[in-house]
A and B are shown apart, each in its own frame.
Chain A
Amino acid sequence: MPQAKIVLKNCGIIDPKDINTYRTKDGFKALDKARGMTAAGVINEIKTSGLRGRGGAGFPCGVKWEGARNSPGDEKYVICNADEGEVGTFKDRYIIQNDPFSLVEGLAIAGYTVGARQGYIYLRAEYSYLLGLLRGAIDQAQEAGYLDGFNIAIRLGAGAYICGEESALMESIEGKRGESRYRPPFPTVAGLWQKPTTINNVETLMNVAQIVLNGGGWYAQMGTERSKGTKVFSVSGDVARPGVYEMVLGSPLRELVEGLAGAKDIKMIQIGGATGRIIPYDMIDTPLAFESYLGAGAITVYNKSRDVLDIVGRTMEFLAEESCGKCTPCRQGMEWMVEVLGRFHRGEGLARDIGYMEVLADTMALSSLCGLGQAAPFAVVDTLKYFRSDYEKGISGK
């Protein structure tokens, strides 16, 4: 069964404005149950489930929580990352629009487990129209007494993709420019205001209540060896039915893209948005799993009419604009990539620049400060591998 609903189980079923409809669907039972367990007990269930972060990096959720729990200090924080800025990603928006309560419950369980009295939801400014719904869910949960001893505040971003990166996000909550931090120390040791902090993507937290209720073992039955449970995908581009689809991990990409979304004449697929990977159509039987590549689950489909160099060029322009500018390889590297890709696109490329791009891609991947610069060259690297002739056609005089 490739499609399954764990994260999206309440979407379209409950009224996102009314906590009582959520209660009839086992709402807040997991939080009650968790509070009857020890923190170590909850961490154990999450670890057993194999749940990995859904925001892009795939870090094991239980290990992160355990790290923050075990870090010394009375003041700790839990953060929900609702910045969703990756190109082609809209699943977190869909989740908040349809079931903000599961998110609040997941964050409250995180707070209890980590030992945090304060939680933050960092919502991108582009989603300001979700503020009312999200505040309503928090307020109703508070009035119903579910959040005793735990406070949740919403912080609104101000239009910066980099603020989805966890350390930049923390700088932003602290009121500063959203520039990435050097690591170590990692957030579980010194995060927000240098206190032990966990940060999780919206979708990661949506899984938590289900795992606590049904057990980590139940969750771990789904998926592959290193990718347990389901993943929510945002499918867009050249497809008949763009939208949000939840699949059991390990399902073939073909089923999602051709079967569910109805794509035809596919040339290539970008998985994970601007910082994601590009694969040609003949790799469409790749399983959807961390073992291959997932990112945050953005699936952008390009049909045969599309120009590879145009797509890579636009991808790089996006990243060049959104680089925070703190480290040189990312800031300068991106600028050069954009310039050179433009030349190839106009048919003015130099043959030797292909080699230079490959060297620069390596340099950026190895020496950039954060995931933005490290992942930025993927689109270039992948298309140089699978669509090299498109670059060769862009060489001046050819």
Chain B
Amino acid sequence: MSKKDATKKTFDNILLTLEETQEKVGYLPAEFMVELADSLDVPVSDVYGVASFYSFLATRPPGRNVIRICKSLPCHLKDGQTIIDTIEKEIGVKPGRTTPDGRFSFELTNCIGLCDGAPAMLINHNVHVDLTPGKIASILDKYK
């Protein structure tokens, strides 16, 4: 973000502040949200309301790697469910969960704009497309 923008009406921008904190800390600790609300002189619910609205903002610590696999129709038509099942078997937890060793969080997501490569998923900021059950183990292997 450019310098000009940083000085412009961003000092009280709750979403931006939350995004920056998550980038640094990995999630949004409750104490941080309380402090932010205090410093802006707004109710904590204003801050939590923003944090809970956006699916990419986490109020609990996620795994070291976040798997976001698409469950929307174009991926579903290409057997996306089989890929979801394969990942579940591979990492041993259901969607919505984090593995006990903290290595993976596993989330189902709506269309991620990769339908030309369906079924598709994101791991952290990386794209994985044209998935088949056979590919899953070696993809996951890259994330420690």
Residues of chain A touching chain B, judged by Cβ–Cβ distance below 8 Å, are: 84-90, 92-93, 118, 124-129, 151-161, 172, 174-178, 193, 234-238, 242-244, 270, 273, 300, 302, 306, 311, 314-315, 318, 321-322, 324
B39 within 8 A of A: no
Inter-chain CA distance A45–B25, complex, in Å, is 49
Q: Is the CB of B113 within 8 A of A174?
A: no
Interface size class of B (residues with CB under 8 A): 35 or more
Q: Chain B residues with Cβ under 8 A from A243's Cβ?
A: 116
C-beta contact mask, B62-80 vs A, less than 8 Å → 1, else 0?
Answer: 0000001000111011000
Inter-chain CA distance A151–B37, complex, in Å, is 30
Q: Is the CB of A118 within 8 A of B13?
A: no
Q: Chain B residues with Cβ under 8 A from A302's Cβ?
A: 77
Q: Is the CB of B114 within 8 A of A118?
A: no
Known: A129-B125, A243-B116. A87 touches B72 (CB 8 A): yes
Q: Smallest distance from the beta carbon of B8 to chain A beta carbons, Å?
A: 7
From A154, A178, A237, give the contact of B74 (CB < 8 A).
A237
14 A-B pairs in the complex with CB atoms less than 8 angstroms apart: A93-B113, A128-B125, A151-B4, A158-B18, A159-B54, A175-B50, A176-B14, A237-B73, A237-B74, A242-B74, A242-B117, A244-B116, A311-B73, A314-B72
| Given A154-B1, A237-B115, 12 extra CB contacts under 8 A | A85-B110, A86-B111, A87-B111, A89-B111, A151-B2, A157-B54, A176-B14, A178-B53, A242-B117, A300-B74, A318-B72, A318-B73
Inter-chain CA distance A92–B31, complex, in Å, is 38
Q: Is the CB of A129 within 8 A of B126?
A: yes
Inter-chain CA distance A270–B4, complex, in Å, is 43
Q: Chain B residues with Cβ under 8 A from A128's Cβ?
A: 125
Q: Which residue of A lies closest to B72 (CB)?
A: A87
Q: Is the CB of B110 within 8 A of A161?
A: yes
Known: A242-B116, A300-B73. A172 touches B55 (CB 8 A): no
Q: Smallest distance from the beta carbon of A372 to chain B beta carbons, Å?
A: 13
Q: Chain A residues with Cβ under 8 A from B1's Cβ?
A: 153-154
10 nearest A-B pairs in the assembled complex, by CB-CB distance: A158-B54, A175-B13, A159-B55, A159-B56, A236-B115, A236-B74, A153-B5, A175-B15, A177-B53, A158-B56
Q: Is the CB of A160 within 8 A of B55?
A: yes
- Per the 8 Å Cβ criterion, residues 59-112 of B in contact with A are 68, 72-74, 76-77, 109-112
Question: Which among A129, A160, A177 has the highest number of chain B CB atoms within 10 Å?
Answer: A177
Q: Chain A residues with Cβ under 8 A from B13's Cβ?
A: 174-175
Q: Is the CB of B116 within 8 A of A158?
A: no
Residues of chain B touching chain A, judged by Cβ–Cβ distance below 8 Å, are: 1-2, 4-5, 8-10, 12-19, 49-50, 53-57, 68, 72-74, 76-77, 109-118, 122, 125-127
Q: Is the CB of B49 within 8 A of A238?
A: no
Q: Chain A residues with Cβ under 8 A from B15's Cβ?
A: 158, 172, 175-176
Inter-chain CA distance A96–B33, complex, in Å, is 34
Q: Chain B residues with Cβ under 8 A from A161's Cβ?
A: 110
Q: Chain B residues with Cβ under 8 A from A118's Cβ?
A: 4-5, 8
Q: Which residue of A lies closest to B55 (CB)?
A: A159
From A84, A178, A235, give the contact of B113 (CB < 8 A).
A84
Interface of B (DSSP majority class): mixed
From B5, B53, B76, give the contact of A160 (CB < 8 A).
B53
Known: A88-B73, A236-B74. A158 touches B111 (CB 8 A): no
Q: Smallest distance from the beta carbon of B122 to chain A beta carbons, Å?
A: 7
Inter-chain CA distance A270–B76, complex, in Å, is 15
Inter-chain CA distance A127–B9, complex, in Å, is 25
Inter-chain CA distance A243–B77, complex, in Å, is 15
Q: Is the CB of B12 within 8 A of A175?
A: yes
Inter-chain CA distance A312–B140, complex, in Å, is 33
Q: Is the CB of A242 within 8 A of B118?
A: yes
Q: Chain B residues with Cβ under 8 A from A176's Cβ?
A: 14-15, 50
Q: Is the CB of B73 within 8 A of A90?
A: no
Q: Chain A residues with Cβ under 8 A from B53's Cβ?
A: 160, 177-178, 324
Inter-chain CA distance A88–B115, complex, in Å, is 6
Q: Is the CB of B55 within 8 A of A242?
A: no
Q: Which residue of B lies closest to A120 (CB)?
A: B5
Q: Is the CB of B110 within 8 A of A90?
A: no
Q: Is the CB of B113 within 8 A of A126?
A: yes
Inter-chain CA distance A235–B122, complex, in Å, is 21
Q: Is the CB of B114 within 8 A of A87?
A: no
Inter-chain CA distance A154–B10, complex, in Å, is 13
Q: Smallest distance from the beta carbon of A303 to chain B beta carbons, Å?
A: 9
Inter-chain CA distance A314–B116, complex, in Å, is 19
Q: Smallest distance from the beta carbon of B53 to chain A beta carbons, Å?
A: 4
Inter-chain CA distance A174–B72, complex, in Å, is 29
Question: Which among A128, A244, A322 has the highest number of chain B CB atoms within 10 Å?
Answer: A128
Inter-chain CA distance A333–B1, complex, in Å, is 40
Q: Which residue of B lies closest to A319 (CB)?
A: B110
Q: Smallest distance from the beta carbon of A151 to chain B beta carbons, Å?
A: 5
